[in-house]
Structure 1
Amino acid sequence: MLLLLIFSSIFLYFFYHFHWKRRNLPPGPRPLPFLGNLLSLKTLKPGYEAFSNWKKEYGPIFTFWMANKPFVIIASYEKMKETFVKDGDTYVDKQLTHTEKERLGENYGVLDTNGHMWKEHRRFTLTQLRDLGLGKDLMQEKILMEVEELFKELDAHGGEEIDLPKLIDRSVGNVINLTLFNKRFDMDKRDEFAHLKSLIDGMRNVTSQFRYLIQYLVPWTSTVLPGPTLSEKVRAKREELDDFFYSQIDEHRNEIDFDNTENLDFVEAYLKEQKKREEDGDFKTFCNKQLCAMLFDLWIAGLMTTTMTMTWGLSYYLYNPEVQRKIREELDKVIGNDRLISTADKNDLPYLQAFVTETQRTANIIPLNLIHMTTRDTVIDGFPIQKGTGVIAQISTVMYDEKVFPEPYKFKPERFIENGKFKKVDEVIPFSIGKRQCLGEGLARIELFLFFANIFNRYDVMPDFSGSLPDLDKSKDNFVIPRKFKAVLKRRYMD
């Protein structure tokens, strides 16, 4: 009798996990108890191939399990438009992480909020970025100023091996710092930027470890896995970053003229809005904790994604002599000297545009996209989906779709050239899709074009003296991380 009870319990356990709990969901890979399908991400790092394989087997809609929780994967561009664009309000919420809640008592920022707080601050941020020059000459001037400062550094080391990604890091960091605080990291503040960057890299390195990736995606595992938790590993680094943000906030509060309607940076605009709200009795929506979290979200996102894409783009450039030749020929034909290139030149440089686009597509820096959460009961491809179910726009499967991009893992800017002109392809969606699309998309696009165009026009970029090339193998890491390498740059035009 006891043996029968044991066998029955085992049978019911596996019947539930392998069949019953999956019965009303889209088909997908069979999940393991406790782990779900997460081991597949470790086996096929950084995750592209796992999702691509499942798409081929189950179609553009399938279920992926993180531990015992199901997530509906949307793996085609057409289905993404049907859900995240045409029915955007149903998928506007994000599944929130617990690291911020544990630290602050509730969620703040734009990455870790939903509802009124998220809507208010997304709208406010987009408005302020436009007012601060995004899409206008003012923002371009700030970026080109950093391009010129970068040139001074590169010229000073002409013909020597240099850590090019490190220099680009600071240039991009200056652009976001100017936008947020109207300050740049001058020569005397290099150590400050290096320290802040080390904190960010340290947090990234922690979360890229598989055990901490699991804790991020499945928070309850923090209570059962031995050793320090994800929150404990990143807390000290996050607190140091917050100290930097709070010091900038306090400095701004003491300096700004609250009666002046013109704003020099994001913090100034925020503090003025905060004062206005507090005068109306609202002390929560625009508070110091929210501003600090906003700065963290914008600074991290504005720095990491752009520099990561640039290091991959430079790596692809070094690997492809034919791409180098075509870019130089186009620049020589259209520009013809070492003047600064602006966005006004963009339409005359179709191959360079194609290079930037192919960099974003091939770098594909987000192996697992933002986890949305349904705001109401809905239906996806005929399957009833309950409110609160996780839904993911898996953009990697779209940008590596073999039907749209033959030989998807090959770097081929020619994909985006048609009759000598740049051809836009809708399936290139590095900034995601829908109402949670990346806030900094406009800024990132301008930065990538201006930095790449001006570096390639002014310099021949070559491997280091040993001839070694950057490592393009993504199977070593759980995340896509920036490339590290040294290069030699020589002026193409002499004064």
Structure 2
Amino acid sequence: MLRFLWDSISLQMILVFLFVFLLVADYMKRRKPRHFPPSPFSLPFLGHFHLINPNNPQAMVDKLREKYGDIFSLQMGQVTFVCVNGLQMIKEVLINQAENFMDRPEIPIDKEIFSSLGLISSNGHLWKQQRRFTLTTLRNFGFGKRGLEERIQEECQYLVEAFGQEQGNPFNPHYKVTNAVSNVICSVIFGNRFEYHDEKFQKLLKLLNETFVLHGSVMSQLYNAFPSIVKYLPGSHQTIFKNWKCMKSFVQEKIDKHKEDWNPSESRDFIDSYLTEMTKNSVRGSLQEENLVACTLDLLLAGTETTSTTIRWALLFMAKYPEIQARVQAEIDAVIGQARQPALQDRDNMPYTNAVIHEVQRKSNIIPFNVPRLTIKDTFVDGFFIPKDTIMMTSLTSVMFDKNVWETPEAFNPGHFLKDGQFYKNEYFMPFSIGKRSCLGEVLARSELFLFFTSLLQKFTFQAPPDTTLSLNIQMGIAIAPQPYKICAVPR
């Protein structure tokens, strides 16, 4: 009888049955609990991939927010997440209920790289210990002190000289700016800076940039949604893994070099301090060498790409809006002049320049959806049930482009940060996020932005190359960067 039934079933019937079974299994797996945030219609297996605009994901979020309000859910393949918008909702998640949303989710492509180690991807006791140790060590090496300012000022001089060598001709400032910014954090991590013509370090910076960009590619997003399938396919995710291996190798080489001449009684930099801490019995469970590699890469990545990307946006905006650039230069000439370098103490006397820098950060909006969080216990937000292990995305764009707060949210307008001629900081400005897991390098980044920006505009006027119209089109990645461009740095 069984043989008869088997022989009578066609291949077509088997495929139909299998398809129906998979549909039912997919539906059961994705069933949402009661009072879960609303979501649009989703396709079987794919979820809401059909709604994504790869060139402008914010457009999808804006559209869904209009329909569903400040909190809604989305499904990307096997991953479900909740998107939160607006100042009050974001403060509810990141401040009022911070303990409920403290962890980072396990993103498949990041898991392959860091395996929940380091400063960005770790959770719980490990994260607290790494962050506490890192903040203490960075302060010891000048964060928030005069020593940090002197490191940045020294690098500003090198960058001004590198720009001057272009003699006003068109050039791409990308890797000069990136090298300069990276040198500040490198001097703290490795104990030295790298020359702009150092081929090995230039290769590392190019790997960093390529990896940053590839994280925003379609194949990388597909990997996060369907890791068990996509990992066997060729694509940008494979390049990301290869690049990270090279970058880990670079860091490991530096750590090994430190071990050779390491003196526990005299720490020269972050790596030395970490090696010393590893020898203490009280912390020997979590501060291990694989964590040192991950923390070093996190610091290098976060201390390089975000700030350098913001400075590249700043130079582009200045070339696009020469009247704003002229006002910044007039203020620089009045407060600092040409005889000395800019200093952090000048910032309070330069409200317009400070406003321009803040507007660059607001308008460039380089991390539009913040770094994701993970719900560590069942909770409620605005009456909606958020179960444990739900990924939370907080849209910083919804705050920094709120049309009810900013006079001209879509325009580059330094007046957003001025009131009666004085600098005014709006609470809707949050490029470094807020709460306990906000950017630990905020002090460094703010110092770098002011000193690099004023140092460059003190010595140069930035213009588009002849017969060229500069574009403000974006390049998607982990951060929103400008499309590659060339610019003229005309000596003043």
Is the Cα contact below 8 Å between 1:18 and 1:30 reproduced in 2?
no
Match of 2:276 among 272, 276, 301: 272
- 1:174 equivalent to 2:187? Answer no
1:472 matched residue in structure 2: 472
- 1:198 equivalent to 2:206? Answer yes
Q: Secondary structure at the match of 1:379?
A: strand
State the alpha-carbon separation in 2 of the partners of residues 281 and 125 from structure 1: 17
The structure-2 alpha-carbon separation of the partners of 1:336 and 1:342, relative to structure 1 and needing over 3 Å to count, comes to same
Is the Cα contact below 8 Å between 1:129 and 1:266 reproduced in 2?
yes
The structure-2 alpha-carbon separation of the partners of 1:31 and 1:472, relative to structure 1 and needing over 3 Å to count, comes to same
Which whole-Å deviations, capped at 9, do the CAs of 1:14-59 have from their partners, x for residues lacking one?
A: 9958995375311232222222223333x26231121122222222
| Structure 2 portions without partners, runs of 5+ | 1-12
State the alpha-carbon separation in 2 of the partners of residues 52 and 14 from structure 1: 31
1:121 matched residue in structure 2: 130
Q: Secondary structure at the match of 2:481?
A: coil
Q: Secondary structure at the match of 2:432?
A: coil
Q: Secondary structure at the match of 1:73?
A: strand
The structure-2 alpha-carbon separation of the partners of 1:311 and 1:259, relative to structure 1 and needing over 3 Å to count, comes to same
2:484 matched residue in structure 1: 484
2:50 matched residue in structure 1: 39
State the alpha-carbon separation in 2 of the partners of residues 114 and 154 from structure 1: 42
Match of 2:142 among 130, 133, 140: 133
Equivalence map 1:146-295=2 (5 Å): 146-186=155-195, 190-216=198-224, 219-222=227-230, 227-228=233-234, 232-260=238-266, 263-276=267-280, 280=281, 283-295=284-296
1:449 matched residue in structure 2: 450
In structure 2, give the amino acid aligned to 1:245.
Answer: V
In structure 2, give the amino acid aligned to 1:213.
Answer: Q
Q: Secondary structure at the match of 1:211?
A: helix
In structure 2, give the amino acid aligned to 1:417.
Answer: L
What is the TM-score of this pair, normalised by structure 2? 0.90
In structure 2, give the amino acid aligned to 1:72.
Answer: V
Which whole-Å deviations, capped at 9, do the CAs of 1:179-223 have from their partners, x for residues lacking one?
A: 111111126x62122110121123234322212123135534525
2:3 matched residue in structure 1: none
Match of 2:105 among 95, 98, 116: 95
Report the RMSD for the aligned CA atoms in angstroms. 2.8
State the alpha-carbon separation in 2 of the partners of residues 477 and 171 from structure 1: 21
State the alpha-carbon separation in 1 of the partners of residues 309 and 93 from structure 2: 29
Equivalence map 1:255-404=2 (5 Å): 255-260=261-266, 263-276=267-280, 280=281, 283-404=284-405
How far the C-alpha of 1:491 sits from its partner, in A, is: 2.6
How far the C-alpha of 1:92 sits from its partner, in A, is: 0.5
State the alpha-carbon separation in 2 of the partners of residues 258 and 478 from structure 1: 37
How far the C-alpha of 1:230 sits from its partner, in A, is: 5.8
Is the Cα contact below 8 Å between 1:63 and 1:70 reproduced in 2?
yes
The structure-2 alpha-carbon separation of the partners of 1:49 and 1:200, relative to structure 1 and needing over 3 Å to count, comes to same
How far the C-alpha of 1:368 sits from its partner, in A, is: 3.1
In structure 2, give the amino acid aligned to 1:324.
Answer: Q
1:428 matched residue in structure 2: 429
In structure 2, give the amino acid aligned to 1:314.
Answer: L
State the alpha-carbon separation in 1 of the partners of residues 274 and 29 from structure 2: 51
Is the Cα contact below 8 Å between 1:28 and 1:63 reproduced in 2?
yes
Moved more, 420-429 or 76-85: 76-85
- 1:24 equivalent to 2:25? Answer no
| Structure 1 portions without partners, runs of 5+ | none
How many corresponding residue pairs?
477
State the alpha-carbon separation in 2 of the partners of residues 222 and 388 from structure 1: 23
State the alpha-carbon separation in 2 of the partners of residues 450 and 164 from structure 1: 17
In structure 2, give the amino acid aligned to 1:296.
Answer: L
The structure-2 alpha-carbon separation of the partners of 1:374 and 1:18, relative to structure 1 and needing over 3 Å to count, comes to closer
Is the Cα contact below 8 Å between 2:374 and 2:389 reproduced in 1?
yes
Equivalence map 1:55-134=2 (5 Å): 55-99=65-109, 101-102=111-112, 106-134=115-143
State the alpha-carbon separation in 2 of the partners of residues 281 and 127 from structure 1: 17
How far the C-alpha of 1:101 sits from its partner, in A, is: 4.3
In structure 1, give the amino acid aligned to 2:278.
Answer: Q
Is the Cα contact below 8 Å between 1:93 and 1:373 reproduced in 2?
yes
How far the C-alpha of 1:281 sits from its partner, in A, is: 7.1
Moved more, 422-431 or 360-369: 360-369
State the alpha-carbon separation in 2 of the partners of residues 138 and 384 from structure 1: 48
